[in-house]
Chain A
Amino acid sequence: MPLNKEHDAIYITSLEPGSGKLMVTLGMMELASRVVGKLGFFRPVIRSGPKLDNDLDLILKRYDLDIDYKDAHVFKVDEIQALGADGKFRDIVQAVIERYDKIKERFDFVIIGGFESSGISAGFDVDANIEITQNLGAEILGVMNAKEQGPREILEEFKISSKAISSHGCFHLATIINMVEPKMIKSLEDLFEKEAKDHVPFYFIPHIPELASPTVGEILETLNGTLIYGKPSSLSQIATLI
């Protein structure tokens, strides 16, 4: 994917949770880290709770970025919910923009992980994402989840989301259509080639169940379990649940 030099940031967003945005974000970081001088990462909203946000922590460490964990985010989901309940929509957007302005000065290129599930409402999430990108001057990279959808439904969703982005005057870089049934990719390519040629570039990523499955270690942690027998190294195995 060619990186547009006119913009110095990409905002990766999806309208639904579980779209595989993290994987796409990692892919974009990998790509950008090879072509950009000083690369930064910003995730305005992270998950609630005292623990580190795994996604943000992973990216900061993997790419050894020159930005502190506390500076790379602004809110936790529960803080957003509280502000949203008080109708302080503008304050949220303003705080994100102010932080981004500070980050932007220190980096040549910034990848921003948008948020898709603040828990306030889907309408709020869409509005906030659009409002923020408009103000940041970032290009939008959309991520769509194609799981359990037919080619027509995927095409319609792609068109609707593309229209929503462009009608607000945002710069739409491309849309990644994730978790496509491998058998469906050929017919989907043909359909998109025929009916979505005039739209922004689109890319398909096949659905690989192992990528979405938890490891034994993650299950152990989530359930607060105790390891009775076995090597800690074997906890990285993918668990298949039927």
Chain B
Amino acid sequence: MTLDNYLSHLENGDLVITPGDREDIVVGTLSSLFSKTFPNISGILLTGG
């Protein structure tokens, strides 16, 4: 899934589970934390080292 599509799925309280090498998802999700309009996730769980 591309970052664009993924971001539209975010909801309040979500725990995002993603492989550690998906930099786009990691950076995009971290950025969402600083946005006033995006939902607030509860955490990011990085898998696979």
Number of A-B pairs, beta carbon distance below 8 Å: 32
Which B18-45 residues have a C-beta within 8 angstroms of A?
Answer: 42-43, 45
Chief secondary structure at chain B's binding surface? strand
A6 to B12, CA, bound (A): 49
B15 touches A216 (CB 8 A): yes
List residues of chain A with CB within 8 A of the CB of B14: 239-242
B13 touches A228 (CB 8 A): no
**Per-residue B-contact encoding for A219-242, CB less than 8 Å = 1, 0 else:** 100010100101000110111111
A237 touches B43 (CB 8 A): yes
Which of under 10, 10 to 19, 20 to 34, or 35 or more describes the interface residues of B?
under 10
A219 to B47, CA, bound (A): 13
Q: How many whole Å from A216's CB to the nearest CB in chain B? A: 4
Chief secondary structure at chain A's binding surface? loop
List residues of chain B with CB within 8 A of the CB of A241: 14-15
A225 to B17, CA, bound (A): 13
Which A26-48 residues have a C-beta within 8 angstroms of B?
Answer: none
Among residues of B, the one whose C-beta sits closest to the C-beta of A230 is: B43
**Per-residue A-contact encoding for B1-20, CB less than 8 Å = 1, 0 else:** 00000000001111100000
List residues of chain A with CB within 8 A of the CB of B15: 216, 219, 239-241
Residues of B that sit less than 8 Å from A by CB: 11-15, 42-43, 45-46
Q: Told that A223-B45, A237-B13 touch, could you supply 7 new A-B pairs with CB distance under 8 A?
A: A216-B42, A216-B43, A225-B45, A240-B42, A241-B14, A241-B15, A242-B11
